[in-house]
Amino acid sequence: MHPHSVPPPIADYASAALLDDVDRRIINGLQGGFPVCTRPYARAARDLGLEEAELLARLRRLLDERVLTRFGPLFDASRFGGANVLAAMSIPRQDFERIAQFVNQQPEIAHNYRREHRLNMWFVGAAETPEKVEAAFRYIEDITGYPVFRFPKEQEYFVELMLRA
Amino acid sequence: MEFVLDAVDQRIIQATQAGLPLVPEPYAAVAEKVGIPAEVVMQRLRAMQASGAIRRIGVVPNHYALGYKANGMTVWDVDDALVDALGERIGNLDFVSHCYRRPRHPPQWPYNLFAMVHGHDRKEVEQYAAHIGRILGLACHQHDILYSNRILKKTGLRIAP
């Protein structure tokens, strides 16, 4: 697998964790509630005690440094008939990188984490329809030869986490 | 509740799912890309917020970069008759970010309750898991904690064009 095609290991994020007070204010204050208006950055900046240009520059830097994975609307695919299914595979060490690269290439795969367990690859399939997610899982099974264990959510116990920076 | 998306909503989602433009008038920039007035973009986004199709608009932090280096998926084998009542209580704990009931796959996978726990280190995650274990009590027969040790891919929702 090409070293640049996957995010770096966790240790590489250490330098990104050097956040100042303004960064923390942005991260803690802007996990939701970004306004929908003509100049939303100006309004959000005012609430945070910043200038519009500074907020824009900070967001750009936090995204570049991958302190933030994204900035924008967080869609709930299940609310518009979309499907979102957790799945896991058990991949031997020698095949792991190759299979991870293949799985990640599928546009329906939204997240993929390596976890310490016999089931060591955990990913989310997301698409407009359950059929498209299921087709992606079947395709992964057909090409890799390894089974995909499906863990569709049967019940959600709703929570809202705010991560403190 | 299901929300019916029309072609305009779909184009707005495609234009924003990777992120909002970092320019002073981001919705106007999206509108230009989609080919509709900015007012319509804002109106559609507000409607999607009201319906729950958009959970929130804001920053999505990278757990690891914020020092939440231990990300434990705690999984529990809980009596079917009690799992929903207990799941509500687990979901209310402030260190739990997601909590779901999911199917078991015996014999490889006996667990039906999943609670994602974030901590600065594994010791903190284990303390939280012990707290969950006390709430579940005798209704829980076995459990495990799966730590992630690498993000292989993380993107938002993708709707293919």
Please compute the mean of the pLDDT values over residues A62-73 and round it to a whole number: 93
Question: Of B15, B30, B51, at which residue does a domain stop?
Answer: B51
Report pLDDT for A138.
98
The residue among A80, A112, A154, A156 with the most chain B CBs within 10 A of its CB, best to mutate, is A80
Q: Can you give the CATH number for the domain in which B44 is found?
A: 1.10.10
Residue A81 — very low, low, confident or very high, per pLDDT cuts 50/70/90? low
Give the pLDDT confidence of B68-115 residue by residue, as tens digits.
888 899 999 999 999 999 999 999 887 888 899 999 999 999 999 999
Helix (H) or strand (E) holding A104: helix A96-105
Whether residues A59 and B59 touch (CB distance < 8 A) is answered with yes
Give the burial class of A153: count Cβ atoms within 10 A of its Cβ; 0-12 exposed, 13-18 middle, 19 or more buried: middle
Report pLDDT for B47.
95
Q: Is A112 a residue whose pLDDT tops 50?
A: yes
Contacts of B97 in chain A (CB under 8 A): 159, 161
Does B29 map to a domain?
A: yes
| B95 and B120 share one domain | yes
Whether residues B147 and A116 touch (CB distance < 8 A) is answered with yes
| B71 and B44 share one domain | no
Q: Can you give the CATH number for the domain in which B98 is found?
A: 3.30.70.920
* ipTM for the assembly: 0.73
Whether residues A117 and B144 touch (CB distance < 8 A) is answered with yes
Does B115 map to a domain?
A: yes
Q: What is the pTM of this model?
A: 0.69
**A98 in B contact zone (CB under 8 Å):** no
Owning domain of residue B36: 7-51
Q: Which residue of B has its CA nearest to A153?
A: B102
Of B51, B55, B149, Cβ closest to residue A74: B55
Question: Of B30, B51, B72, at which residue does a domain stop?
Answer: B51
| B44 and B76 share one domain | no
Give the pLDDT confidence of A113-161 residue by residue, as tens digits.
999 999 999 999 988 889 999 999 999 999 999 999 999 999 988 665 5
Report pLDDT for A63.
95
Helix A21-29 / helix A40-48 crossing angle, nearest 10 deg: 120
Report pLDDT for A42.
98
Could you check whether the bond before residue B103 is cis, i.e. omega within 30 degrees of 0?
A: no
From B130, B129, B140, B156, select the one nearest B72 (Cα to Cα).
Answer: B129
| B47 and B68 share one domain | no
Q: Is B160 a residue whose pLDDT tops 50?
A: no
Please compute the mean of the pLDDT values over residues A72-89 and round it to a whole number: 83
In A, residues 25-84, which contact B (CB 8 Å cutoff)? Answer: 26-27, 30-34, 36-42, 52, 56, 59-60, 62-63, 65-77, 79-82
Report pLDDT for A12.
42
Does B161 map to a domain?
A: no
Selected from 2.60.40.60, 3.30.70.3460, 3.60.110.10, 3.40.50.150, the CATH number assigned to the domain covering A77-151 reads 3.30.70.3460
Give the pLDDT confidence of B133-149 residue by residue, as tens digits.
999 999 999 999 999 87
Whether residues B59 and A150 touch (CB distance < 8 A) is answered with no
**In the numeric block, which tokens belong to residue A160?**
């809202």
From A80, A83, A91, select the one nearest B7 (Cα to Cα).
Answer: A80
Does B16 map to a domain?
A: yes
